Chain A
Amino acid sequence: MNDAIIEVHDFRKIYSTSVAVDGISFDVRRGEIFGLLGPNGAGKTSTLESLEGLRRADGGTLRIAGVDPGRRGRQLRALIGVQLQTSGLPDSFRVEEAMRFFCTYHGISPRDDLIERVGLGEKRRAQYHELSGGQQRRLGLALAVAHNPPVVFLDEPTSGLDVASRAMLHDLMRELQAGGTTILLATHDMAEASEMANRVAILLRGRIAAMGTPMELTATGAGLTKVSVRTDTGCLGQPGTTFPAVQQAQTRDDYYIYFSTDIGPTVAALITYITAQNDSLVDLRVERPTLEDRFLEITAKGGAG
């Protein structure tokens, strides 16, 4: 069964002389958080804005719950909520006015509960320009979801936020997902994508360079797994010790650090060696390549991934 709520097929976007998006295809399933990653100019914003109905596609098809965003603007409004990267609100809007304004245009009662939920209850009467960056983002998200849209677009939602504001936005995103909302998340923040997204697509020069779950993407890369080991007597420091699948080794602060292409044989051999030397293991840490490592690898290759 096709459970896709966002369908992008062979989508193209061209600006006078340059091709911003060159025939990309992907689906986003209902209730999924889908991350759209890519360097500046990769085509993320063009894709997002075309899905939001702000730009027209120059080729291919776009559908949100079966609706063509380029043609059915009114139907689209009920289906999507958008938190834009830029403010998108007049400076003199009070928090409660902004909520009332957009709710009346959506034909619903003002969602004062959402103002409380995003922690802006005490800022109800504050004007938009009086809010901190984090508060503005939280208000933006509250306004985007006020009419309970099944699809929410978030463009760099946590960019420039402090840790607490970022955590609060992530909690809200998880709540939305738990309620069945589909989220398309465009971000530069690899840790955020890795933590929040069920699947991600990496865009490069208008094409999809890689797509899958964060785990799948990090597993398929050529990145080396980092194994850091500390023992009681430092037996690993003896000259001539080598271990399978290790490509690089170094020491730092009593730790022996190995970069392995195949973690299983490396760790097994390390433990065997330590035991054979009558030494004892104090600490062992394994760090897989991160999404950021994979992203850098793909962008360095120029999209061959």
Chain B
Amino acid sequence: MNAFAYHFGFEFRVGIRNKALMLMNYLFPLGCYLMFGALMGSINPGFLQTIVPAMSVFAVLSGALLGMPDTLVNAREAGIFRSYKINGVPALNILVVPVLTSMLHALLVTAIIALTAPALFDGVAPANWAGFLLVFLVTAFALAGLGALIGVVSTSSRMTVLLSQLVFLPSMILGGLMLPSSLLTGALGKVALLLPTTYAMDAFAGLAMGQGTGSHAWQSVGILLAGGLMAFGLALFLFSWDSKNSTRRGHPALALLAWLPYVIGLLLAH
């Protein structure tokens, strides 16, 4: 078995073996799915139209932003990356493997949600499964890229929580998961257009759920893909093997460039 495959397999098992990651990858998103499905279905029946993509995005957010960054920070602070470097583990693998495993965990949770939502909550299943998978993968890549970037620029667990929540909470409230972004007007509507989840929900609606316009959805896919590439590229550029002996190639503030595609999305919308 080659090194990358073994590394991927190990990291995936850790995502289940490690209690904190198990919580963020599976228990938290599935628990919230059951809770939101039961509560929101009666409060806001319209939610059931989007429960599958919304909770899928929620699962990605949970694993990629609340789970993955802290493990990267902890590994760097514990000298694990130094040990990896000495033993020839490339920086690219250190970042690619958690991104891919985070996407795989979210895919498994999404499969459970997509297959059970119609039966449990009368939720609407995707009309186009291929489109659903495509949008899921692009969304997961965009958010996992951001998670990797947060893990790279954070200097402590406390800072990781702060940065992760700066993306997670607005995404939950304004990103179209609980209510359609189209209902948001003025400044809130503009803020929503700076969030990856807004584009994810738009793309799901157009390409998977049969609820929006295809051309607009493809633009959202493009913005998410660009956002993921920017975030991951910046994470790789700003990566450092350890905090004491920083060989970082640029200032951590460069991480803000990851928002460039979403800023362009905001400008295109007006």
Contact of B86 among A54, A74, A92, A97 (CB under 8 A): A54
For this complex, 19 residue pairs linking A to B, each with C-beta atoms less than 8 Å apart, are: A54-B82, A54-B85, A54-B241, A77-B86, A77-B87, A80-B86, A82-B83, A84-B82, A84-B86, A88-B78, A88-B80, A90-B80, A97-B10, A102-B87, A104-B2, A104-B7, A105-B7, A105-B88, A106-B87
Q: How far is the CB of A127 from chain B (nearest CB, A)?
A: 8
**Additional pairs, 14, CB under 8 Å, beyond known A54-B245, A88-B82:** A54-B85, A55-B245, A74-B88, A84-B79, A87-B78, A88-B78, A88-B80, A90-B14, A90-B75, A92-B14, A92-B17, A93-B10, A102-B87, A104-B6
Tell me whether B82 and A89 are in contact (CB under 8 A). Answer: no
A257 to B24, CA, bound (A): 69
B-chain residues with CB within 8 Å of residue A101 when the two chains form the complex:
6-7, 10
**B75, closest chain A residue (CB):** A90
Tell me whether B14 and A82 are in contact (CB under 8 A). Answer: no
**A56, closest chain B residue (CB):** B247
A165 to B89, CA, bound (A): 29
A-chain residues with CB within 8 Å of residue B119 when the two chains form the complex:
none
Question: Would you give the 0/1 interface string for A28-56, flagging 1 where the beta carbon is closer than 8 Å to chain B?
Answer: 00000000000000000000010011110
A120 to B46, CA, bound (A): 58
Tell whether A86 is near chain B: CB-to-CB under 8 Å: yes
Tell me whether B87 and A105 are in contact (CB under 8 A). Answer: yes
| 7 closest A-B pairs by CB | A88-B83, A86-B79, A77-B88, A104-B3, A105-B3, A104-B6, A82-B86
B-chain residues with CB within 8 Å of residue A89 when the two chains form the complex:
80, 83
A90 to B7, CA, bound (A): 12
Tell whether B44 is near chain A: CB-to-CB under 8 Å: no
Q: How far is the CB of A12 from chain B (nearest CB, A)?
A: 16
Query: Footprint of B on A, CB under 8 Å?
Result: 49, 52-55, 74, 77, 80, 82, 84, 86-93, 97, 100-102, 104-107, 127, 143
Q: How far is the CB of A72 from chain B (nearest CB, A)?
A: 12
B-chain residues with CB within 8 Å of residue A107 when the two chains form the complex:
3
Asked, given contacts A90-B14, A92-B17, A101-B10, whether A84 binds B83 with beta carbons under 8 Å apart, the answer is yes
Asked, given contacts A87-B78, A88-B79, whether A106 binds B10 with beta carbons under 8 Å apart, the answer is no
A93 to B78, CA, bound (A): 14
A191 to B85, CA, bound (A): 32
Q: How far is the CB of A9 from chain B (nearest CB, A)?
A: 22
**A143, closest chain B residue (CB):** B87
A-chain residues with CB within 8 Å of residue B89 when the two chains form the complex:
105
Instruction: Categorize the interface residue count of chain B.
Output: 20 to 34
A53 to B82, CA, bound (A): 10
Q: How far is the CB of B188 from chain A (nearest CB, A)?
A: 41
Tell whether B185 is near chain A: CB-to-CB under 8 Å: no
Tell me whether A52 and B1 are in contact (CB under 8 A). Answer: no
Asked, given contacts A87-B78, A104-B1, A104-B2, whether A53 binds B86 with beta carbons under 8 Å apart, the answer is yes
A106 to B79, CA, bound (A): 19
Q: How far is the CB of A75 from chain B (nearest CB, A)?
A: 11
Q: How far is the CB of B145 from chain A (nearest CB, A)?
A: 22
Tell whether B18 is near chain A: CB-to-CB under 8 Å: yes
Tell me whether A100 and B241 are in contact (CB under 8 A). Answer: no
A77, A97, A104, A143 interface centre (most CB from chain B within 10 Å):
A104
Q: How far is the CB of B68 from chain A (nearest CB, A)?
A: 14
Q: How far is the CB of A190 from chain B (nearest CB, A)?
A: 26
A-chain residues with CB within 8 Å of residue B7 when the two chains form the complex:
101, 104-105
B-chain residues with CB within 8 Å of residue A91 when the two chains form the complex:
18
A-chain residues with CB within 8 Å of residue B83 when the two chains form the complex:
82, 84, 88-89
A52 to B79, CA, bound (A): 14
Q: How far is the CB of A32 from chain B (nearest CB, A)?
A: 21
Q: How far is the CB of B94 from chain A (nearest CB, A)?
A: 11
B-chain residues with CB within 8 Å of residue A143 when the two chains form the complex:
87
A88 to B86, CA, bound (A): 10
Q: Which of B54-101 contact A (CB under 8 A)?
A: 75, 78-80, 82-83, 85-89
B-chain residues with CB within 8 Å of residue A102 when the two chains form the complex:
87
A92 to B74, CA, bound (A): 13
Question: Would you give the 0/1 interface string for B242-265, flagging 1 where the beta carbon is closer than 8 Å to chain A?
Answer: 100100000000000000000000
A24 to B89, CA, bound (A): 31
A88 to B75, CA, bound (A): 8
**B14, closest chain A residue (CB):** A92
B17, B86, B87, B241 interface centre (most CB from chain A within 10 Å):
B86
B-chain residues with CB within 8 Å of residue A127 when the two chains form the complex:
17
**B11, closest chain A residue (CB):** A90
Tell me whether A87 and B79 are in contact (CB under 8 A). Answer: yes
Tell me whether B80 and A49 are in contact (CB under 8 A). Answer: no
**B5, closest chain A residue (CB):** A104
A54 to B10, CA, bound (A): 25
A-chain residues with CB within 8 Å of residue B79 when the two chains form the complex:
84, 86-88
Q: How far is the CB of B51 from chain A (nearest CB, A)?
A: 33
Q: How far is the CB of B22 from chain A (nearest CB, A)?
A: 11
B-chain residues with CB within 8 Å of residue A80 when the two chains form the complex:
86
A55, A89, A97, A105 interface centre (most CB from chain B within 10 Å):
A105
